[in-house]
Chains A and B, each alone.
Chain A
Amino acid sequence: MNSPASFMDAPALFSADGLLGIIFLIMIAVTLTGGFIAATAERLVRALAGIVICFTGVAGFYYFLNSPFMAMMQILIYVGAICITISFAIMLAAPERTRKTGPANLLSGPLGFIIAALVFGGMCALALRTQWEPFAKSATGTVREIGIELLTNHSMVFELISLVLLIAIIGAIVIARGGRTG
């Protein structure tokens, strides 16, 4: 993006850039709110809902980063598939009364917070102290480009993903079937 600008250089509120800025801020708010709900909710289902919100916000970030494909994938896979799977798991796993998160104890409370803060600080420091250089060839991250990459430079990965899927299927069947003995 642009280099940091002073307040005076900021675009007018109702210009196109200004609206974009507001939408960006909303995305931040959505993501943070979702994360906060996920971290503090007592009921697992609510925590899950928080994660859904959080993921949606993240998808927005991808859009702002010029990766509409990634944004789509984020919503499709994380919001659509993973969260739904987790909700199934919650519904299948435990009866009503234990469907809450565990009691906050000394370790997972303040300590967790401190650690999260440390990691956050570390990431910020890392991001701020790096001289970022824009990529020579701006990757727009369209489906077409990703497809071409996968079939040329990363053909090996493309092949191997099929293997991963095969193993995942076999593993799932083996576990789900519960032992068909020979």
Chain B
Amino acid sequence: MEQTTYLGFIPLLPLAGALVLGVMHVATCQGNRIAEKLYGILGCIGPVLSFILALKLFFSLKGLPAPDRFLTHEPFTWFSVGDLTVPMGFLADPLSSLMLLFVTFVGSLIHVYSIGYMAGDKNFGKFFAYLNLFLGSMLILVLGNSPLVMFVGWEGVGLCSYLLISFYSEERENVVAGNKAFIVNRIGDLGFVLGMAFLFWGIGADGFDYLSLKANAHNLTPALGITVCLLLFVGATGKSAQIPLYVWLPDAMAGPTPVSALIHAATMVTAGVYMVARFSFLYIEVPVAGTVVAWIGILTALLAAVFGMFQNDIKKILAYSTVSQLGYMFAGVGVAAYSAGIFHVFTHAFFKALLFLGAGSVILALHHQQNIWKMGGLKKKLPITYGTVLVGSLALAGCPPFAGFFSKDEILFSALATGHTGIWFIGVIVAGMTAYYTFRMFFVVFHGTPRDRHSYDHAQESPRVMTIPLIVLAIGAGFAGFLNFPAIFGGHQQVSHWLAPSLAEHHPDAGLGVEFLAIGGSVLAFVIGISIAYRKFFGGAEEPVYRGFCKFAANKFYVDELYATIIVRPYRFIGKAIRQMIEPYITDAPAQGVPWLYRMTGWVFKVVQVGYVRVYAIYMVIGLSIMSLLISQSLNL
């Protein structure tokens, strides 16, 4: 366990970038502006350097024998209370190194893309500062060596998501969306904090970093174990948008598209899955909690897929697909297939970033038009975008051999192999629905005839600074799956082996039959989904009018309204009641009285402060006399 200093620089570089950019922006927000190019380059330096360091880290880990694959760095003691000393420490093991790799890689590409996407925005510098801060927070979250350090990053990404979602703060809706994301996340954070507290109460006495916790995990009583796992999962549902706290993610589309890509692909939403995998040593002890996680995950996947089928906004479709895919990931980690879940996080990062950036390219080409029923036939106008989005869509829909297929199949196979047949079955249905809504979007946007002639005519392909990241990501989305090529096809499952030292995982043994069943189901579902979409939308279709169930689903089952009715409104009512009844009469009266009293006594003291030296001297002597009288009592002779 030697100190590896450069670990600290991985999160530090983007954070330093954020500071520099922020100062530059603040210093120049009035008057003389700095060239955007400078901001862009400065903004990209941090993430790219972090990526290089992450690579270096990966290879130095690879050079170690498998059980010893962890490096630590504790730059300083964060605080110490009583016996508890919390270092600001970083831990790199296979799990965090994998996360680091794709977070910094995808993050860097999104930074580069943003130079093109945000060109001309008056808050260009601020945007890059936030983006860097976001990435830096995520890296702290990933690298932290204890739940407390993770929490720093956890809150950091929460804050940055708020800042970025309401980035176009001139419009009220965007600010409301930012608030929603922040508040919903806070509810989840409460769970996380409580979970941490219980965990500390249970086994925190001998050190609160992951390695000590892992060593002591078996000391946790079952009741406490379930409590901790479920509370931590509440935190995860907030950050990773699961039932019941998923409502913020679709609204988060209010932010600029690169932000959506960053939130959905590399940072933020993957934090919950990562956290559950990080605590796999706890979840493996409490299978019940795992089952709850898996079921919540798969139900979220189903629900989001249903919503996704009836959305009109290109970004909302992608948002629900993210929620749905996150559901898969939780189903994976829930059935104790942690490496499968993390692998899906990994592949998802590529194809979802790709899809969002592609969507951004489309949106920019059509001057911020987001309704898919105003698009159509863009294949000719945006060839590069078309090609890359096709790769992304295939990956998302789970078409073999694209990245999404392998990771999703791995999860479904694990569910089946561990006996969660229900989860598997729902998962297969969701796979079909995913294929359907993905290609519904794809066909409507790129094929058929242009629905809005005017904007079609003005559309043109995005600049190279945007298309190059798209192409790079498309390569990733196409081939990332082969990294964990399953044994059945003669692969070695490198990712699973790589992750093994970090995770408490039992690989289920299942026969070839089960494996073929899983693969067959997935492929079948994909084919059915895509063929329905092809039939309905390939030739060009008009915006449908939803009725019955479809209308219900298009309105997202009125969940937002339901929350408003049963939680927000009563809450507001109580708040109002307190404000009107209790505050003025019960709490405010003394609160108003105290300052009054305070001012009066202050005034009295001002009078005593007469300003004559002799009076001051007399005060002193009076004090002296009283004290000497008292002291003479304490003499013992």
> B-contacting residues of A (Cβ < 8 Å)?
107-108, 111-112, 115, 118-119, 122, 125, 129
- Of the candidates A115, A125, A129, the one whose C-beta lies within 8 Å of that of B621 is A115
Chain B hits for A118, CB < 8 A? 625, 628-629
Closest to A117 in B: B625
Interchain CA distance A108-B610 in the complex, whole Å: 15
Closest to A108 in B: B614
Is the beta-carbon distance between A108 and B618 smaller than 8 angstroms? yes
Tell yes or no: B607 within 8 A of A by CB. no
Which chain B residues (607-624) contact chain A, with CB distance < 8 Å?
A: 614-615, 618, 621-622, 624
Q: Which applies to chain A's interface (DSSP): helix, strand, loop or mixed?
A: helix
Tell yes or no: B637 within 8 A of A by CB. yes
Chain A hits for B219, CB < 8 A? none
Tell yes or no: B580 within 8 A of A by CB. no
8 A-B residue pairings within 8 Å (CB atoms): A107-B615, A108-B614, A111-B618, A111-B622, A115-B618, A115-B621, A115-B622, A118-B629
Chain A hits for B629, CB < 8 A? 118, 122
Is the beta-carbon distance between A115 and B625 smaller than 8 angstroms? yes
Q: Which applies to chain B's interface (DSSP): helix, strand, loop or mixed?
A: helix
Tell yes or no: B632 within 8 A of A by CB. yes
- Of the candidates B615, B622, B625, B637, the one whose C-beta lies within 8 Å of that of A129 is B637
Interchain CA distance A122-B627 in the complex, whole Å: 11
Is the beta-carbon distance between B618 and A122 smaller than 8 angstroms? no
Interchain CA distance A26-B48 in the complex, whole Å: 96
Chain B hits for A115, CB < 8 A? 618, 621-622, 625
Cβ distance B637 to chain A, nearest Cβ, rounded Å = 6
Is the beta-carbon distance between B618 and A119 smaller than 8 angstroms? no
Cβ distance B612 to chain A, nearest Cβ, rounded Å = 9
Interchain CA distance A70-B383 in the complex, whole Å: 108
Q: Given contacts A107-B615, A111-B618, is CB(A119)–CB(B625) below 8 Å?
A: yes
Is the beta-carbon distance between B618 and A112 smaller than 8 angstroms? yes
Closest to B621 in A: A115
Interchain CA distance A112-B618 in the complex, whole Å: 8
Closest to A119 in B: B625
Cβ distance B611 to chain A, nearest Cβ, rounded Å = 14
Interface-central residue, B614, B625, B629, by most chain A CB under 10 Å: B625
Interchain residue pairs A-B with the least CB separation, the first 5? A118-B625, A122-B628, A115-B621, A115-B625, A107-B618
Cβ distance B247 to chain A, nearest Cβ, rounded Å = 70
Cβ distance B524 to chain A, nearest Cβ, rounded Å = 94
Chain A hits for B628, CB < 8 A? 118-119, 122
Closest to A111 in B: B618
Interchain CA distance A71-B159 in the complex, whole Å: 78
Which chain B residues (69-99) contact chain A, with CB distance < 8 Å?
A: none
Cβ distance B601 to chain A, nearest Cβ, rounded Å = 22
